[in-house]
C-alpha cells in the first residue's frame, strides 16, 4: 500500500501502547486539523475517527503506532493518519466492517463508524501479521 | 493515571461536569462512581454536562448510555446536557444515536426536565 505522504511532508510517528496514548492521538489530530483549516464539524469527525482507530490499535492490535501529518494533492490539503499494529489481523474484513459486529466487548462501531466519518479509508490486514488502517480528511 | 471526575450533589440530583478529554479508565471510573453515589445519596436524578467535550466517541457514548440504563435500574433518571452541534452530527454519523439517553440543550433545561414527572421526561 502506498503511503499518503508527499515528499517533504514526513509524518510524525506516535506510539500507541497505553490508554493515555489514545488521548494524545486525539490532541495531535486536533492540532493538524486546525492547521489544515478543516471546518469544526470535519475536525470533530476526524478526531473521533482517529480515537476509534487508535483504541482498536491498542485493544485488538495489542498496541502499535500512528503516523500523522498533513497531506496535499493538486488542489487541496488534508489530514492523514496511518494506524499500524502487528496484532492478529482481521480474518473476515467484511464482517469486521459491519455495524455492530465486534470480536471484543465494544459496540462494533469503530471500523465501520470511522469509515463513515472520513473521506478516504483504506484497510490492509494480514491474519497473523497485523493491520494497517489509513484515513484522510480533506479540507473543503 | 486514573483521574476521577467530581460528582456534586444538589438536593436529590447528582451533577457531573466533564471538563477535559477523558482517558478510557476515567470514563469507567465515572460510571462506577455514579452508580455508587445514586444509591449512597438516594439520588433521583443525574445530570451529565458534556458542553466542554470536543468529541464523544463510541467509548464515551457507550458510557452515557450505560449510566442512563444503570440509573433507570436504580430508580433515578439521567439527562445529558450541553452536547455541541458538531459532536451530535459526528455521533449520529458514527452510528450512535443514544436512543435510551435523555438529553437537554443546557443545564437549566436538564434540571427542568428532571423536575417533570417521569412520563414526560422519558424522551
pLDDT digits (tens, 9 = 90+) for A90-105: 988 888 888 887 876 6
* Residue A77 burial (C-beta neighbours within 10 Å; 0-12, 13-18, 19+): middle
Contact criterion met (CB below 8 Å) for B89 and A44: yes
Domain residue limits, chain A: 14-138
> What confidence tens digit (pLDDT) does each residue in A109-123 have?
789 999 999 999 999
- Cα separation, A73 vs A78, in Å, equals 9
Among A44, A47, A105, most B C-beta atoms within 10 A, so best to mutate, is A44
Give the nearest partner residue to A26 out of B21, B89, B90, using CB atoms: B21
What is the per-residue pLDDT for A81?
97
Average pLDDT over residues B80-108: 95
Give the nearest partner residue to A26 out of B1, B55, B94, using CB atoms: B55
In 3-state terms chain A splits into helix, strand, coil percentages (rounded to 5) of: 35, 30, 35
What is the per-residue pLDDT for B2?
65
Here the CATH number for the domain that contains residue B51 is 3.30.750.24
- Cα separation, B52 vs A12, in Å, equals 28
pLDDT at B54 over 90: yes
> What confidence tens digit (pLDDT) does each residue in A61-88 have?
999 999 999 999 888 999 999 999 999 9
> What confidence tens digit (pLDDT) does each residue in A12-42 have?
999 999 999 999 999 999 999 999 999 999 9
- Choose between B113 and A100: higher pLDDT: B113
In what helix (H) or strand (E) does residue B13 lie, and over which residues does it extend?
strand B13-17
- Cα separation, A10 vs B116, in Å, equals 56
The CATH class for the domain spanning A14-138 reads: alpha beta
Proportion of chain A above pLDDT 90, given as a percent:
74
Cell of B42: 438516594
What is the per-residue pLDDT for B119?
60
A7 touches chain B (CB under 8 A): no
Number of domains in chain B: 1
A44 touches chain B (CB under 8 A): yes
Residue B1: inside a domain: no
Show Cβ contacts of residue B42 under 8 Å, excluding neighbours closer than 6 positions: B12
Residue B17: inside a domain: yes
Among B95, B98, B100, most A C-beta atoms within 10 A, so best to mutate, is B95
Amino acid at each position: 500500500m502506498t503511503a499518503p505522504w508527499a515528499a517533504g511532508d514526513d509524518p510524525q510517528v506516535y506510539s500507541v501502547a497505553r490508554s493515555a496514548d489514545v488521548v494524545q492521538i486525539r490532541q495531535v489530530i486536533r492540532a493538524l486539523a486546525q492547521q489544515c483549516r478543516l471546518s469544526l464539524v470535519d475536525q470533530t469527525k476526524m478526531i473521533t475517527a482517529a480515537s476509534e482507530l487508535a483504541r482498536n490499535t491498542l485493544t485488538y492490535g495489542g498496541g502499535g503506532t500512528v503516523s500523522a501529518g498533513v497531506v496535499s494533492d493538486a488542489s487541496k490539503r488534508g489530514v492523514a493518519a496511518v494506524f499500524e499494529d502487528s496484532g492478529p489481523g482481521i480474518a473476515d474484513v467484511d464482517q469486521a466492517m459491519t455495524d455492530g459486529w465486534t470480536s471484543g466487548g465494544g459496540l462494533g462501531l469503530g471500523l465501520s463508524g470511522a469509515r463513515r466519518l472520513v473521506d478516504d479509508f483504506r484497510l490492509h490486514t494480514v491474519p497473523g501479521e497485523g493491520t494497517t488502517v489509513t484515513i484522510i480528511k480533506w479540507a473543503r | 493515571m486514573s483521574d476521577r471526575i467530581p460528582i456534586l450533589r444538589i438536593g436529590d440530583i447528582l451533577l457531573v461536569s466533564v471538563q477535559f478529554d477523558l482517558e478510557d479508565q476515567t470514563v469507567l471510573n465515572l460510571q462506577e462512581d455514579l452508580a455508587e453515589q445514586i444509591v449512597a445519596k438516594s439520588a433521583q436524578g443525574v445530570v451529565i454536562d458534556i458542553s466542554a467535550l470536543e468529541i464523544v466517541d463510541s467509548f464515551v457514548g457507550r458510557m452515557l448510555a450505560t449510566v442512563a440504563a444503570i440509573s433507570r435500574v436504580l430508580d433515578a433518571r439521567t439527562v445529558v446536557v450541553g452536547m455541541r452541534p458538531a459532536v451530535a452530527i459526528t455521533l449520529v454519523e458514527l452510528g450512535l444515536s443514544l436512543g435510551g439517553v435523555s438529553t437537554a440543550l443546557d443545564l437549566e433545561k436538564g434540571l427542568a426536565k428532571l423536575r417533570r414527572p417521569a412520563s414526560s421526561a422519558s424522551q
